């Protein structure tokens, strides 16, 4: 191993060092701030190193790991997202008691798995990266050990992820049997030339497809998503939504690049069906949810469906489209879950849509940002989501993938149905309504009690003559009544 | 650069007004007003130069042009330009914007800052739509109008505002997506033969033949006729107009509908002359149905605001007819209709809003005989009812007459049916007056008459309409070169356009 190898591997080495440092710090002195600080430091330092490393790129370190600008870009994306998750987690766990320092340990290891994935050019590194990413996630999902739903989500994720790993391994075995190689480019070459016996190769690819589909939560491998999103603590959810899916997309994109941007027709057909199914399932089911995290889970399913459109459309825009869409999606997802984490406190997270009603009047900044992120998810101009969606359209039109584009248009429209209820719930409801829900928003001692009392007042006096919310005088009267408590 | 300022001043004004409102609500209103007046100053300055023929190029198509790169990778640029048509539309926008700020002076009491922020951003988006000559930029501004309008209806509207806001949003956004798709198809078709660009001037003349061209054209047509609105795509309009606050209704009816008409004029016909020729009979049919159906619906309403909203559907039917007749008379008529309908419907919504502020109902059944207690309000309403029914001496008459005269050359049948719309307009306008102001004051209403602020706004609108009714020449002269250029761009197309049809 020469010095260039060491330099190329520096991100992984640094993250390992950070992991060890956090572990030692925990064993000597349990301090939430110290653990979070070390983690953030580790991510930041690694992130800042990337430009320097790009000087040695492209550089293959052993046959299984490649450091190139593509991988470094995605490493940067994953590191930035992980850093944001760290900050979210710090705010989130600061209000909670119990063992929380280990969360950062798991976070660091999982992020390292993501970094291995984006550089993998070989089935072995793919598997190592995927497991390193997933195993800490099992614990992270179930990190709220006293919450029933968190444990349920963790168990579900553990079982399903285990099964998908089994699929992956079996698929790899078949590929190896068919081609005699575990190197991506070699396998693709064999597949193209048709040297290998076709059935094991196809079967192997299909099984690997299942595992990839599971990680990306594409229909029909999406069933874990809503439960895990709902049950996991908000920082974990944001990690699952961004880093885990982002790393997997990067692997797909690398395969696409190695294949020279050509996808066999049969694969296109299968993935088209999955993409269309994902879009419709995600969007339609999201409409029926009452829980914000479930809504976002279903919407993420549809977003990954959109992302597949760009892949399938192929052409010169595909890589650009996928990269941009993924980046925009990651930023937006981090934002939405960030707001959820920000608004949650010791008693729990604001989960139901109703919890957000009147948010605009209570916490205008959070509400404004939340609206912005939702608008970006819906792809409204002046947000990154719009440019992302624009790229998808362009990629699709460029390649005349009309069926996919048609579903994309229809689903964007359905997605709009999804957006207004959210916006409406927290933006447009009058001030009065927000006080009917004592579990909503900022609660600290006195106001909470006043809230509850006001609620009682309202239930007794208010309901029989529901005031016209558009009448400001009424509002003022109710407010003065509220303040008199 | 002045074009950039036209767009930026309302945006910045909106931001400042929104921030100031926490401290001082009255200052916020004054800031919005002065931003709009400052912006009008720029627009009037341009117009005066144009009108007097001062130091502006007359040889080129555009009076002022601004072009810089935006996303070169995609061939999208920031290309703004103004000709007589867009300049008039910008002036109308700013004028009604000022009226809107004035009309909401006492109506809006909650979240004043956010209201003015949204209001000015809508105006900025609309001005952008009128100025943009790059299709991606155009689409961008097209959507910029949308979100603030959604908030405007959803937060400050009447009882059923949530429903109306969502309906408005989904109708316009979904049709906008179809337009985006059409834009991309157009751009990539153009790129197949050369350069990847979103520039309007370069895209003109891209061959789009047969069914393919028709489908792409329909994408644009859908977005613009939803906004216009034409007959089957109008259901969002009565709800949005009825539930919006007064200022929202004024700019919805006065300006936002005109962006649809402008889009048809500027983009649909010039970009797809051949497809439009094929589509003309259907478009005329939709126009005639819109005129008559809107009028019938208006007559059936008991909610005052809903009634006025449906009259917009009827009047905008004339715009659709005029655009697809595509000859001199009809196009002049379309431009006149856009301006005069902006004035008259804006005024009607303002008066209805003023009435609502006083009697707290929009049900005609609960009014009646209001003339005795508020004669000035009654007289003003009477004036605009007359304008709306197309009484000679007001701009609306000129507009509808010109459209019908132009349409006559294209289709006699369509003209005869569309003329019935004028009779229907008389019926519903008088019905409106009868229900509210005439008759005995059974309900014993005692309401304040128009105050000085409202009177001055009404007077400005009245003066505008009468001036245009007696002397439409300034408008016609100002848009002449623009319309000429538009017609030329279709005449160069391989297939002669609808104007030669008999």
User: B179-225, pLDDT tens digit by residue?
Assistant: 988 998 898 888 887 788 889 888 888 888 788 889 999 999 999 99
Give A314-351 pLDDT, tens digit per residue. Answer: 777 788 889 989 999 999 999 988 888 888 877 777 77
Of these ranges, A392-406, B146-160, B412-426, the one predicted with the greatest mean pLDDT is B412-426
Angstrom distances, CA of residue A268 to CA of A157, A264, A308, A317: 29, 6, 10, 17
- Whether A315 and A398 have beta carbons less than 8 Å apart is answered as yes
CB-nearest partner of A375 from B147, B165, B170: B147
Contact (CB<8Å) A409/B181: yes
Q: How many domains does chain A have?
A: 3
CB-nearest partner of B184 from A393, A423, A472: A393
B68 — phi, psi (to 5°)? -135, 165
Please name every residue paired with A61 in a beta bridge, in sequence order, or none if there are none.
A65
Instruction: List chain A residues with CB under 8 Å of B185.
Output: 397
**Alpha-carbon distance B99 to nearest alpha carbon in chain A (angstroms):** 23
Helix (H) or strand (E) holding A475: helix A472-483
Residue tagged 């316009």 (tokens): B172
Q: Are A407 and A469 in a shared domain?
A: no
**Alpha-carbon distance A247 to nearest alpha carbon in chain B (angstroms):** 26
pLDDT at res. A195: 60
Contact (CB<8Å) A412/B139: no
Terminal Cα-to-Cα distance of chain A (whole angstroms): 72
Q: Are A113 and A251 in a shared domain?
A: yes
B70: region left, alpha or beta (phi > 0 left; psi from -120 to 50 alpha): alpha
Per the structure, the complete domain to which residue A424 belongs is given by 263-443
Contact (CB<8Å) A427/B151: yes
In a domain, A191, yes or no: no
Give B454-491 pLDDT, tens digit per residue. Answer: 899 899 999 999 998 898 888 888 888 888 888 887 77
**Nearest C-alpha neighbor of A293 from the set A368, A246, A240:** A240
Q: Are A53 and A74 in a shared domain?
A: yes
**Alpha-carbon distance B485 to nearest alpha carbon in chain A (angstroms):** 31
Contact (CB<8Å) B143/A417: no
- Whether A69 and A323 have beta carbons less than 8 Å apart is answered as no
Contact (CB<8Å) A468/B161: no
Q: How many domains does chain B have?
A: 1
User: Percentage of chain A surpassing pLDDT 90?
Assistant: 37
In a domain, A424, yes or no: yes
pLDDT at res. A196: 56
Of these ranges, A15-29, A361-375, A465-479, B347-361, the one predicted with the greatest mean pLDDT is A15-29
- Whether B134 and B68 have beta carbons less than 8 Å apart is answered as no
Cis before B429 (ω within 30): no
CA distance A183 to A177: 13
Chain A interface includes B74 (CB < 8 A):
yes
CA distance B472 to B465: 10
Contact (CB<8Å) B174/A397: no
CA distance B473 to A67: 71
Cis before A302 (ω within 30): no
Contact (CB<8Å) A386/B143: yes
> Of A195, A230, A260, at which residue does a domain stop?
A260
Q: In B268-374, which residue ranges form alpha helices assigned H by DSSP?
A: 269-271, 273-300, 304-325, 328-359, 370-373
Instruction: List chain B residues with CB under 8 Å of A397.
Output: 181, 184-185, 188
pLDDT at A445 over 50: no
Residue of B175, B181, B187, B248 to mutate for A, most A C-beta atoms under 10 A: B181
CA distance B321 to A120: 62
Specify the higher pLDDT residue, B343 or A316: B343
pLDDT at A439 over 70: no
Per the structure, the complete domain to which residue B310 belongs is given by 2-500
Q: In A3-122, which residue ranges form alpha helices assigned H by DSSP?
A: 3-28, 32-53, 69-94, 102-119
CA distance A5 to B475: 74
> What value does the mean pLDDT take over residues A34-55?
92
- Whether B179 and B220 have beta carbons less than 8 Å apart is answered as yes
pLDDT at B165 over 70: yes
pLDDT at B127 over 80: yes
Instruction: List chain A residues with CB under 8 Å of B158.
Output: 470
CA distance A264 to A172: 19
- Whether B138 and B36 have beta carbons less than 8 Å apart is answered as no
Q: Are strands A65-67 and A59-61 parallel, antiparallel or unpaired?
A: antiparallel
pLDDT at res. A482: 33
pLDDT at res. B34: 93
CA distance B491 to B502: 17
Chain B interface includes A470 (CB < 8 A):
yes
Q: Are A340 and A467 in a shared domain?
A: no
Angstrom distances, CA of residue B3 to CA of A286, B40, B125, B139, B159: 43, 12, 13, 18, 39
Q: Are strands B64-71 and A65-67 parallel, antiparallel or unpaired?
A: unpaired
Chain B interface includes A287 (CB < 8 A):
no
Give B19-49 pLDDT, tens digit per residue. Answer: 888 788 888 899 999 999 999 999 998 888 8
Residue B105, helix vs strand vs coil = coil
**Alpha-carbon distance A348 to nearest alpha carbon in chain B (angstroms):** 29
CA distance A433 to B179: 38
Instruction: List chain B residues with CB under 8 Å of A420.
Output: 150, 165-166, 169-170
Contact (CB<8Å) B174/A390: no
- Whether A419 and A302 have beta carbons less than 8 Å apart is answered as no
In a domain, A180, yes or no: no
**Nearest C-alpha neighbor of B246 from the set B172, B341, B355:** B355
pLDDT at res. B492: 61
pLDDT at res. B480: 85
Contact (CB<8Å) A428/B162: yes
CA distance A98 to A145: 10
User: Percentage of chain A surpassing pLDDT 70?
Assistant: 84
Chain A interface includes B427 (CB < 8 A):
no
**Nearest C-alpha neighbor of B318 from the set B436, B400, B428, B426:** B400
DSSP one-letter code for B265: I
Contact (CB<8Å) B174/A413: yes
Which residue on chain A is closest to B174 by alpha carbon? Answer: A413
Q: Are A244 and A297 in a shared domain?
A: no
Give B67-84 pLDDT, tens digit per residue. Answer: 888 878 778 889 998 888
Q: Are A322 and A249 in a shared domain?
A: no
ipTM over 0.90? The verdict is no
How many cross-chain Cβ pairs, A to B, lie less than 8 Å apart? Answer: 70
Give A75-110 pLDDT, tens digit per residue. Answer: 999 999 999 999 999 988 888 888 888 999 999 999
Q: Are A389 and A458 in a shared domain?
A: no
Residue A341, helix vs strand vs coil = helix
- Whether A56 and A67 have beta carbons less than 8 Å apart is answered as yes
In a domain, A170, yes or no: no
pLDDT at res. B218: 93
- For residue A470, what pLDDT band results from cuts at 50, 70 and 90? very low
């Amino acid at each position: 191993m020469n010095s260039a190898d060491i330099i190329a591997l520096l991100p992984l080495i640094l993250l390992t060092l950070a992991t060890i440092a956090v572990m030692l710090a925990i064993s000597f002195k349990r301090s939430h701030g110290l653990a979070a600080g070390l983690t953030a430091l580790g991510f930041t330092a690694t992130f800042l190193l990337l430009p320097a490393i790009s000087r040695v790129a492209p550089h293959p370190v052993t046959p299984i790991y490649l450091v190139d600008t593509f991988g470094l870009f995605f490493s940067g994306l994953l590191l930035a997202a992980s850093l944001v998750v760290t900050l979210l987690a710090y705010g989130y766990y600061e209000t909670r008691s119990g063992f929380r320092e280990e969360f950062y340990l798991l976070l660091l290891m999982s992020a390292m798995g993501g970094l291995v994935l984006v550089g993998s050019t070989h089935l072995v590194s793919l598997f190592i990266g995927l497991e390193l990413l997933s195993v800490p996630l099992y614990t992270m999902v179930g990190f709220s050990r006293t919450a029933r739903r968190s444990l349920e989500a963790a168990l579900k994720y553990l079982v399903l992820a285990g099964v998908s790993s089994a699929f992956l391994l079996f698929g790899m075995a078949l590929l190896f049997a068919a081609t005699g190689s575990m190197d991506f480019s070699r396998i693709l070459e064999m597949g193209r030339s048709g040297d290998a016996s076709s059935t094991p190769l196809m079967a192997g690819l299909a099984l690997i497809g299942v595992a990839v589909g599971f990680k990306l939560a594409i229909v029909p491998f999406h069933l874990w998503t809503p439960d895990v999103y709902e049950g996991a603590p908000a920082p974990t959810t944001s990690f699952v939504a961004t880093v885990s899916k982002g790393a997997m997309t990067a692997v797909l994109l690398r395969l696409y690049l190695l294949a020279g941007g050509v996808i066999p027709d049969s694969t296109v057909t299968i993935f088209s069906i999955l993409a269309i199914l994902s879009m419709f399932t995600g969007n339609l089911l999201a409409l029926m949810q009452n829980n914000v995290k479930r809504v976002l889970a279903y919407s993420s399913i549809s977003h990954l469906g959109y992302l597949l459109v760009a892949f399938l459309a192929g052409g010169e825009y595909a890589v650009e489209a996928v990269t941009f869409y993924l980046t925009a999606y990651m930023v937006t997802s981090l934002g939405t879950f960030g707001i959820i984490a920000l608004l949650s406190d010791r008693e729990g997270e604001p989960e139901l849509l109703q919890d957000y009603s009147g948010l605009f009047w209570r916490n205008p900044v959070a509400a404004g940002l939340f609206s912005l992120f939702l608008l970006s998810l819906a792809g409204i101009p002046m947000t990154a989501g719009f440019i992302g969606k624009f790229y998808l359209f362009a990629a699709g039109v460029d390649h005349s993938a009309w069926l996919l584009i048609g579903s994309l248009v229809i689903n964007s429209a359905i997605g709009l149905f999804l957006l207004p209820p959210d916006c409406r719930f927290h933006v447009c409801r009058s001030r009065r309504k927000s006080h009917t829900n004592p579990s909503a928003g900022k609660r600290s001692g006195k106001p909470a009690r006043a809230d509850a009392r006001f609620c009682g007042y309202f239930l007794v006096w208010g309901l029989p003559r529901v005031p016209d919310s558009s009448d400001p005088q009424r509002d003022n009267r109710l407010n003065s009544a509220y303040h008199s408590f | 650069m002045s074009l950039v300022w036209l767009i930026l001043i309302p945006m910045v004004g909106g931001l400042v007004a929104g921030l100031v409102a926490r401290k001082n609500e009255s200052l916020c209103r004054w800031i919005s007003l002065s931003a709009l007046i400052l912006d009008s100053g720029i627009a009037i300055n341009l117009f005066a130069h144009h009108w007097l023929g001062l130091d502006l190029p007359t040889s080129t198509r555009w009076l002022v042009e601004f072009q810089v790169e935006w996303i070169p990778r995609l061939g999208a640029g920031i290309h703004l330009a103004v000709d007589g048509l867009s300049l008039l539309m910008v002036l109308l926008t700013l004028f009604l914007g000022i009226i809107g700020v004035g009309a909401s002076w006492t109506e809006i009491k909650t979240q004043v800052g956010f209201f003015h922020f949204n209001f000015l951003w809508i105006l900025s988006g609309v001005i952008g739509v009128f100025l943009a000559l790059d299709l991606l930029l155009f689409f961008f501004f097209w959507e910029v109008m949308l979100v603030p309008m959604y908030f405007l209806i959803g937060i400050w509207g009447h009882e059923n505002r949530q429903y109306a806001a969502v309906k408005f949003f989904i109708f316009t956004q979904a049709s906008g997506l179809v337009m985006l798709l059409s834009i991309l198809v157009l751009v990539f078709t153009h790129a197949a033969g050369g350069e990847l660009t979103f520039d309007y001037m370069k895209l003109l003349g891209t061959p789009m033949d047969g069914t393919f061209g028709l489908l792409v054209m329909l994408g644009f047509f859908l977005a613009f006729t939803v906004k216009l609105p034409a007959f089957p795509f109008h259901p969002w309009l009565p709800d949005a107009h009825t539930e919006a606050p007064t200022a929202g209704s004024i700019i919805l009816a006065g300006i936002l509908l005109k962006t649809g008409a402008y889009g048809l004029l500027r983009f649909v016909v010039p970009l797809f002359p051949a497809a439009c020729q094929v589509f003309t009979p259907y478009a005329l049919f939709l126009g005639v149905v819109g005129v008559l159906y809107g009028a019938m619906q208006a007559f059936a309403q008991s909610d005052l605001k809903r009634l006025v909203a449906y009259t917009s559907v009827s009047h905008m039917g004339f715009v659709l007819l005029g655009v697809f007749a595509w000859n001199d008379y009809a196009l002049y008529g379309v431009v006149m209709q856009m301006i005069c309908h902006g004035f008259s419907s804006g005024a009607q919504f303002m008066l209805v809003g003023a009435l609502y502020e006083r009697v707290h109902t929009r049900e005609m059944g609960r009014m009646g005989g209001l003339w005795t207690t508020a004669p000035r309000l009654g007289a003003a309403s009477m004036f605009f009812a007359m304008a709306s029914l197309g009484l000679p001496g007001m701009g609306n008459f000129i507009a509808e007459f010109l459209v019908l005269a132009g349409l006559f050359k294209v289709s006699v049948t369509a003209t005869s049916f569309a003329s019935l719309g004028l009779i229907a307009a008389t019926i519903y306008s008088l019905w409106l007056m009868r229900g509210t102001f005439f008759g005995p004051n059974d309900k014993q209403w005692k309401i304040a008459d128009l105050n000085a602020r409202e009177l001055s706004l009404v007077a400005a609108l009245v003066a505008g309409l009468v001036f245009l009714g007696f002397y439409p020449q300034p408008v016609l002269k100002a848009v002449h070169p623009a319309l000429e250029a538009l017609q030329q761009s279709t005449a160069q197309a391989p297939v002669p356009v609808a104007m030669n049809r008999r």
